[in-house]
Amino acid sequence: MSQIKEAWGSRLGVIMAVAGSAVGLGNFLRFPGLAAQYGGGAFMLAYAISFLIIGLPIGWAEWAMGRYAGSRGYNSCPGAFAAILNKRWAKYLGIIGVIVPVVIYMYYVFIESWCLGYAVKFWTGGVHLTSTDQAVDMFKAMSGQVADGAALQFSWDAALPWLLIVFVFNFWLIYRGLSGGIEKMCNYGMPLLIVLALVVLARVMTLGAPDPAKPHDNVVNGLGYMWNPSKVQIERAEPAAGEKKVVEELVGSAAIAAAEQKVAASGGALKLVTITPWQQLKNPLLWMAAAAQIFFSLSVGFGVIIVYASYLRKKDDVVLSGLTASSANEFCEVALGGLITVPAAVAFLGLASVAGQGTFGLGFTVLPLVFAKMPLGAFFGGAFFFMLFLAAITSSISMLQPGIAFLEEAMNVGRKVSVTILGLLTTLGTVFVVYFTSALKALDTLDFWVGTFLIFILATIQIIVFGWHWGIERGFKEAHQGASIHIPAFFGVIMKWICPLFLLAIFSLTVLTSVFGFDLSTFKFGAASSYVVDLIGGVKDGKPVATNQAAQLSVALVVIIFFFFGLLSARSRAYQRAEQGLPKHD
């Protein structure tokens, strides 16, 4: 049976939808943490380079390939790959573009529920934090980290009731369709998100030094911690066994002057070290972090843009639309996310509160304590976490559309049936993630193997298909149809040579370090990564380490979904036509 072809209601709508897909939790939590961890200014330089040689090129490639596939009648990633490559195996490569967003949704919606829960608890006066331990306990209760199954209890202090609300809301939006659901939500949600972010930003920028007894803990030093190009720190001249080499990181002229006196009085035990941006840029881990953040930031390699672009008309501008959506995301990430999170934490809790914090630690333990200490903190805390919720939901609904498009195309069914099937599949996957919450093992495992590993693979395949199968001349010709501006000619070299080589280098380094335990500082192989040990076991400090059942089941879940999608693809008549170079419909 033939289906009514969906379409975007306006060009603004598709730009908002793609920007909404890109703007998510990574903009406001992951990005600030990485920028602070890897030296601020040095990280931003690597980030800007990665944006130019990875983000924009792959984004434009996905927009062009998606619109081309849509003009042939194909809206799913497997359909797009089959229509472009005209090979039987192409649709199986495209399955990665369905697995990535669908599996990420299964744990992303869980995190989304935390944001809504925190927002409501702040606005209803339910947050009374006075210490870091209380903030940690609050997060453990919400996320269920205390034990497997702990998150499944129906309590407003736990995630389950919030998860039910956001899960149903996501599918209600996706059921309403491309224009009536996704586009409308993003058209309202994105402006509201930016307004809330600006309100919180204005409050953070006027904090000054909240505690007069600690003048170094202020917003200016928080900004300096993130954005100063050089890092200044006190180090032990000869650290003893078990001691850390770095004693303290310093920001601000007053703090550095005090540190100079401290070092002078140490009798040579301590030294003051300045690390320049160029020294920091020699660290391969910095480049890996910057490249990974670009994927999270722009939704490239997710399989989302290629699907969204397939609903465009042949003469719709993909070059300007891609640039506009990317620019909107960068504004939210750099100008908003980069100015809110870390400065607020440093102002209230000091540099030590930020150092070493991961995304969850910074967002769900440090920041709640910050807002609890802030005047009118209940309002601003609620505004911040509701902003995160909006950022999360505009991303999560985008993760469902590739699955909907795939099921409609592979099974030749309508939206009601596809939404029902995908709803059942993601319900099972989300329950799995929510059950195995001890140390958030299922979430962490899926995030690494799917949210990092498979994204790199898909992005690399896409840019190689664009630059080498299509060729730059044909690719640019397709992209420039209906374009108000053209892709600069020098991007041809980037898309054909530099981007694939850079991706392969970064991917190889990621595998070496995160899978096989290769130490880039000593150039020696160490113990295998915990992600590998969890699956096959290993040895640590001379003692055997057992496998982890939750991690093994997480990988098994991904494999089962791949085979299920593979069977559907193999039976699809639409994909058979695509392999023959035929449009979906005569």
> How much of the chain exceeds pLDDT 90, in percent?
63
* pLDDT at residue 371, rounded to an integer: 94
The closest of 449, 463, 450, 443 to 503, measured between CA atoms, is: 463
Give 230: exposed, middle or buried? Use CB within 10 Å, 0-12, 13-18, 19+.
Answer: middle
Type of residue numbered 189: G
Q: Locate 355 and state its tokens.
A: 């150092």
| Confidence grade of residue 4 (pLDDT, cut at 50, 70, 90) | low
Q: Is 233 helix (H, G, I), strand (E, B) or coil?
A: strand
292 in the same domain as 269: no
CA torsion, points 334, 339, 345, 346, in degrees to nearest 10? 110
Residues spanned by the domain of 251: 231-275
387 burial level (CB within 10 Å; 0-12, 13-18, 19+): buried
Where residue 35 falls among pLDDT bands split at 50, 70, 90? Answer: confident
Amino acid identity, residue 116? Answer: L
Q: Are residues 441 and 329 in the same domain?
A: yes
- Residue 295, CA distances (Å) to 118, 267, 460 in order: 27, 47, 11
Query: Cα dihedral sign for 7, 9, 14, 19?
Result: negative
Per-residue model confidence (pLDDT) at position 398: 94
Tell me the percentage of the chain whose pLDDT exceeds 70: 98
State both tokens at 72: 């042939």
Higher pLDDT among residues 35 and 491, named by residue? 491
Same domain for 288 and 437: yes
- Distance, CA of 423 to CA of 167 (rounded, Å): 9
| Cα separation, 123 vs 181, whole angstroms | 27
Cα radius of gyration rounded to whole Å, the chain? 24
- CA-to-CA dists, residue 563 to 260, 428, 556, 568, angstroms: 62, 16, 11, 9
Question: 254 and 124, same structural domain?
Answer: no
Domain closes at, from 222, 250, 275:
275
The Cα–Cα gap between 303 and 300 comes to 7
The phi, psi pair for 356, rounded to 5°, reads 80, 0
The burial of 154, by beta-carbon neighbours within 10 Å (0-12 exposed, 13-18 middle, 19 or more buried), is given as exposed
Question: Within 13 A of 232's CA, how many CA atoms are on the CB side?
Answer: 17
Residue 557 lies in a domain: yes
Q: How many residues comprise the chain?
A: 586
Span 152-204, pLDDT tens digits: 989 999 999 999 999 999 999 999 998 899 999 999 999 999 999 999 999 99
Domain CATH code at residue 427: 1.20.1740
Tokens 């609300």 belong to which residue? 165
Residue 553 domain flag: yes
Residues 177, 249 within the same domain: no
The pLDDT score that the predictor gives to residue 356 is: 63
Higher pLDDT, 461 or 36: 461
**Which residue among 275, 290, 306 closes a domain?**
275
Mean pLDDT calculated for residue range 426-446:
96
| Residue 432 CA: distances (Å) to CA of 53, 63, 115 | 37, 33, 20
If you average pLDDT over every residue of the chain, what do you get? 91
393, 168 in Cβ contact below 8 A?
no
- Clarify whether residues 51 and 20 are in a common domain: yes
Question: 337 and 379 share a domain?
Answer: yes
> pLDDT band for position 580 (50/70/90)?
very high
Q: CA 500 to CA 492: how far, in whole Å?
A: 12
pLDDT recorded at residue 1: 46
Lowest mean pLDDT among 285-294, 455-464, 511-520, 561-570: 511-520
Pairing of strands 524-525, 518-519: antiparallel
Is there a single domain that holds both residue 38 and residue 77? yes
pLDDT of 50 strictly over 70 = yes
Q: Note the pLDDT tens digit of each residue in 94-141.
A: 999 999 999 999 999 999 999 999 999 999 999 999 998 999 999 999
**Domain-embedded: residue 71:** yes
Assigned domain for 299 exists: yes
Q: Per-residue pLDDT tens for 521-543? A: 777 887 788 899 999 988 776 78
Instruction: Let me know whether 156 and 270 are in one domain.
Output: no
Tell whether the model's pLDDT for residue 73 goes beyond 90: yes
Q: 269 and 383 share a domain? A: no
What three-state secondary structure class fits 306? helix
Q: Report the domain count for the chain.
A: 2
For residue 3, pLDDT over 60 is answered with: no
Q: 111 lies in a domain? A: yes
Q: What is the 3-state secondary structure (H, E, C) of 60-106?
A: HHHHHHHHHHHHCCCCCHHHHHHHHHCCCCHHHHHCHHHHHHHHHHH
State which H helix or E strand residue 398 sits in: helix 377-411
In a domain, 221, yes or no: no
Query: Which 3 state secondary structure label does DSSP give 527?
Result: coil
d(Cα 294, Cα 386) in Å, to the nearest integer? 24
Determine the longest span between alpha carbons in the chain, in angstroms.
84
CB 339 within 8 A of CB 204: yes
Domain end among 218, 251, 275: 275
Determine, yes or no, domain membership for 445.
Answer: yes
In a domain, 143, yes or no: no
Instruction: Looking at the structure, tell me whether residues 287 and 266 fall in a common domain.
Output: no
One domain for residues 199 and 242: no
